[in-house]
Amino acid sequence: MKPIVLYTNIFTLTNTDISQNRYIDMYYFWLHNIIQYAKLQPTDICITMIDNVTFEYMKKQNQLNILLPKINMHFCIYPQPTTIKEGMLQRYLIQNIINISKPIQNDNPYYIYLDVDVFIIKNIRNLFKQYHENIQSAFFIKAEAHILGPDYLGDIMSDSNDELERLKSNNIDKLAGFSSGIFAWTNCPYIHDFFNRLIQKSIHDNKKYYTVDQPFFNYTIVKHLLDYPHMFTFINFDNNLISHNHCGLHSNRDFVLVNLCGEPGQHEIHWNKIISQILLQNIYSEM
């Protein structure tokens, strides 16, 4: 099967106490689950996008030294962000991701982005086993609630009646909204156009959204569906393979991912769910 390039993003904002950043602890558990359950192959590549301050802090911790020998991990380091939006948009700057994966480019790998609160609990390739091996120009997305809800397009479209009418006339308003914490793509010729449009939209829109980058993600998907449908095919991940805020391996033997999502930037909410997930994994793995 195609090789996998699995990547995530972690950062600490300026003027915050890095020792209180629970996302660092989540990241260690995230890595642990990759090693334990993802069944990555020797040719697969993992990449962590991380700010320079957080990276230097983590290098001094023993947890990273324990985990890294077990995984083919690379780091993309960027300047420490001053806002959550600035940090979260790093996931869409894909050129370094592509550069690191050059040794396997000819095999047309799947690039998979997961937030650090999205845990792998089964073979990661199970996400793609229903698709043809030679699939090209694909963008995989995770459907959630209604697309015109405030977490997706509702707020970003609220000032544009013309755009809303265009959505309705093309039945786009009937779609689900999509998570920006779980997506995958193949390195087709148009993928840079997609992410560049997303970033440009975010630069020119200074409005603050509850889900930060996710409205820009959904806006760009809709833009491509309407204006650039030839560029690539959007494919919905099978929701039976991804658990949404439901902890535990035992709940459904088909689940590949557990999405322990919550309010962006509120690490304690995510941390409490992750502790429950780890405890349940340990309990039910022994039964």
Radius of gyration of the chain (CA): 18
Query: For the segment 157-188, what is each residue's pLDDT rounded down to a tens digit?
Result: 766 667 778 888 888 888 899 999 999 999 98
Query: For the segment 228-253, what is each residue's pLDDT rounded down to a tens digit?
Result: 888 888 999 998 899 876 655 555 67
Q: Distance of CA 226 to CAs 143, 171, 229, 231, 250, Å? A: 18, 10, 6, 11, 41
Task: Please say if the pLDDT value at position 206 is more than 70.
Answer: yes
Confirm if 201 and 195 have CB atoms less than 8 A apart: no
Confirm if 131 and 235 have CB atoms less than 8 A apart: yes
Measured distance CA(78)–CA(60) in Å, rounded: 18
Looking at per-residue confidence, does 286 or 58 come out higher?
58
Helix ranges (H only) for 90-213 are 95-100, 161-169, 191-204
Q: Summarize the chain as % helix, strand, coil (round to 5).
A: 45, 20, 35
Nearest Cα to 116, choosing from 237, 232, 34? 34
Query: For the segment 260-287, what is each residue's pLDDT rounded down to a tens digit?
Result: 876 555 556 656 666 666 666 665 664 4
Q: For domain 4-144+177-238, give the fold.
A: Spore Coat Polysaccharide Biosynthesis Protein SpsA; Chain A (3.90.550)
Q: Cβ of 198: how many Cβ atoms within 10 Å?
A: 23
Question: What's the confidence (pLDDT) of residue 43?
Answer: 95
Region 52-75: mean pLDDT is: 95
